A and B are shown apart, each in its own frame.
Chain A
Amino acid sequence: DKTRRSLVNQLKAIVGQGPLNEDAVLEIESLLLQADAGVDATDKVIQALQKQLREETLPPEQAIAYLKKILRELLDRPLQGSHSVFFAPEKEMLNIWLITGVNGAGKTTTIGKLAHIAQKSGYRCLIAAADTFRAAAVEQVKVWGQRSDVDVIANPGQNTDPAAVVFDAIAAAQSRNTELLLIDTAGRLQNKKNLMDELNKIRRIIDKKAGTATVESLLVLDATLGQNGLRQAQVFAEAAQLSGVVLTKLDGTAKGGIALAVVEELGLPIRFIGAGEGIEDLRPFSSYEFVEALISG
């Protein structure tokens, strides 16, 4: 079965040990498209590869090594700019991480995992249950709070204003000398103007009420997403001033190639990957691991 063969074997089947030809490049293009990298990002990567191939003829192994280098550089580019390489909350001050994304992406689960890591690493941590909309969303995040032994600030009423929960949670965080406040938000599709306005209001409250806090605004993207992921990143970046991305569900067979397009287009770094439903299933992002999985899987 062709899909199960490694890229290097597929390329060797086409060109042997010789330099890559047109068919071999098409094979690489297929691989990127099937990983959801999208037509535009794929075109860019293929162009970069072909530029190199015009300069020197490359046999399969070297061509793949070069391809991986192009992809890693693309993914690491945001860290050359304003985004720090090291990513962790600062001690002895309030850090606020706002977790956003479309419905069902994995926000609440990611919050549970982050709370667990933060607690283990000795941070004073707090969770704001600002999804006041979805059925049993508060109960869900409370279970995660119990699992990691982190308090959850919630409003007992139904359909209350999420911005009010955020306001209360910041006040609680300030009075408790919390170091990391994780804010869970309701899933929302980026084309819903009122919901994006609501998110923007939450963001403004954070900036206003916690002016001295370090704020990270993370978009959670599901690895099975197709090209709509790019649109999501564009609109959430506006409304929530995104500073990074979390890519979830990488324990499946989806490669999360849309992340390439998001990084390339918006210059946002990927900070964590989710690879399971368990509390330990969150890892810092590594461009090396991501690209290896993308190319070899």
Chain B
Amino acid sequence: MFDALADRLENAWKKVRGQDKISESNVKDALREVRRALLEADANLQVVKDFVAEVEQKALGAEVISGVRPDQQFIEIIHNELVSVMGDANVPLAHAESAPTIVLMAGLQGTGKTTATAKLALHLRKEERSVLMVATDVYRPAAIDQLIALGKQVDIPVFDLGKDADPVEIARQGVERARAEGFDTVIIDTAGRLQIDESMMGELKRIKDTIQPHEVLLVVDAMTGQEAANLTRTFHEQIGVTGAILTKMDGDTRGGAALSVRRISGQPIKFIGVGEKVDALQPFYPDRMASRILGMGDVLTLVEKA
């Protein structure tokens, strides 16, 4: 369904073959293809517009490299720009000087927060960090049971106060417990909420103000479309996020949401979820994500060889 951008660009460039240099006249078709490819990968329209404008500037100012076709050079410019937008290197999870490190999970309904809470806990335990998970989702049916069941799977304790308690109070007591019992990290799972739901966003804000987390992770489904930009903007403005987890990356989505999340929040994507199982969590690598969004696996090596 998606032609790799590389093929498209080659086609766009065929029309102008013989021109051995990127110029204002021949870059236009190529930029149109880039725009289209990014939109098909679900990057947000506004984000794409800005990105394409930046790429145009970079491409026009680029030095001619002998032996490299302009379409290949152009792809490399786009790829590099995408990598640099997404943060060049992986950023690990915060580790507070005095324990416990407090991590707050947030996001829309069904994105994978509860699963990611357990995945992250397991990941940290592998780094010899002890973890307590806190169940504050009192709304979704069996949400607490779900976290408890996951806790059993990974053998990590879960703090809860049942579903009649106030989420802010659960979070507060959970952190208190973690501190009292000397846990290295405490992860607070929260209920899914729409960014336009004022009372639920207010609750999340109160949780944050109460527990003062070191890390607020926005959990975003990699299959999200244009909405990724809107939800990131509101969560960031109202709550303040320090990073993101992109889930369900084991699917075949291009994941252009990553570009929107990163651009709009300015915060790094720290992990990706790559499966339903508790060990299916990986660090986020900007260069792999860039290649995936552009639908190109081996183009880079091609350029390197040239």
Q: Please tell me if the beta carbons of A106 and B110 are within 8 angstroms of each other in the complex.
A: yes
Do A277 and B251 contact each other (CB < 8 Å), given the known contacts A135-B150, A227-B225, A253-B227?
no
Q: How far is the CA of A135 from the CA of B62 in the complex (A)?
A: 53
Interfacial residues of chain B within 27-72, with CB under 8 A of chain A in the complex: 36, 39-42, 44-45
**Mostly helix, strand, loop or mixed at chain A's interface?**
loop
Q: Please tell me if the beta carbons of B142 and A38 are within 8 angstroms of each other in the complex.
A: no
- A104 neighbours in B (Cβ, 8 Å): 109-112, 221, 248
- B39 neighbours in A (Cβ, 8 Å): 33, 39
Interface string of A111-152 (1 = CB under 8 A from B): 010000000000000000000011111011011100000000
Do A139 and B224 contact each other (CB < 8 Å), given the known contacts A39-B40, A277-B139?
no
Quote the shortest CB–CB distance from B280 to chain A (angstroms): 12
Q: How far is the CA of A120 from the CA of B146 in the complex (A)?
A: 29
Interface string of B132-148 (1 = CB under 8 A from A): 00000001111101111
Task: Indicate if A190 sits at the interface (CB-CB under 8 A).
Answer: yes
- A253 neighbours in B (Cβ, 8 Å): 194-196, 227, 230
Task: Indicate if A280 sits at the interface (CB-CB under 8 A).
Answer: no
Do A226 and B224 contact each other (CB < 8 Å), given the known contacts A140-B141, A252-B108, A253-B230?
yes
- A228 neighbours in B (Cβ, 8 Å): 42, 223, 251-254
Task: Indicate if A62 sits at the interface (CB-CB under 8 A).
Answer: no
Task: Indicate if B149 sits at the interface (CB-CB under 8 A).
Answer: yes
Task: Indicate if A224 sits at the interface (CB-CB under 8 A).
Answer: yes
- A254 neighbours in B (Cβ, 8 Å): 225-227, 230
Q: How far is the CA of A134 from the CA of B147 in the complex (A)?
A: 11
Q: Please tell me if the beta carbons of A222 and B110 are within 8 angstroms of each other in the complex.
A: yes
Do A226 and B253 contact each other (CB < 8 Å), given the known contacts A33-B39, A39-B40, A133-B276?
yes
Task: Indicate if A30 sits at the interface (CB-CB under 8 A).
Answer: yes
From A136, A226, A231, A249, B226 is in contact (CB under 8 Å) with A226
Q: Please tell me if the beta carbons of A225 and B149 are within 8 angstroms of each other in the complex.
A: no
Complex A-B, nearest 3 residue pairs according to Cβ-Cβ distance, in ascending order: A226-B225, A104-B110, A226-B42
Q: Please tell me if the beta carbons of A189 and B250 are within 8 angstroms of each other in the complex.
A: yes
Q: How far is the CA of A142 from the CA of B112 in the complex (A)?
A: 21
Task: Indicate if B153 sits at the interface (CB-CB under 8 A).
Answer: yes
Interface string of A26-42 (1 = CB under 8 A from B): 00001001111011000
- B224 neighbours in A (Cβ, 8 Å): 224-226
Contact-residue size bin, chain B (C-beta under 8 Å from the other chain): 35 or more
- B146 neighbours in A (Cβ, 8 Å): 134-136, 139-140
Q: How far is the CA of A38 from the CA of B254 in the complex (A)?
A: 13
Known pairs A136-B149, A227-B254. 20 more at Cβ < 8 A?
A33-B39, A34-B226, A36-B225, A102-B251, A103-B248, A103-B276, A135-B145, A139-B141, A140-B145, A189-B248, A191-B250, A191-B252, A224-B224, A230-B1, A231-B1, A231-B253, A251-B194, A252-B108, A252-B195, A254-B225
Interface string of B115-159 (1 = CB under 8 A from A): 000000000000000000000000111110111111001000000
Task: Indicate if A105 sits at the interface (CB-CB under 8 A).
Answer: yes
Interface string of B193-214 (1 = CB under 8 A from A): 0111000000000000000000
Q: Please tell me if the beta carbons of A143 and B142 are within 8 angstroms of each other in the complex.
A: yes
Most chain A beta-carbon contacts within 10 A, residue among B45, B140, B196, B225? B225
- A102 neighbours in B (Cβ, 8 Å): 223, 248, 251
Do A39 and B221 contact each other (CB < 8 Å), given the known contacts A190-B251, A226-B253, A249-B109?
no
- B228 neighbours in A (Cβ, 8 Å): 224, 226
Q: Please tell me if the beta carbons of B196 and A190 are within 8 angstroms of each other in the complex.
A: no
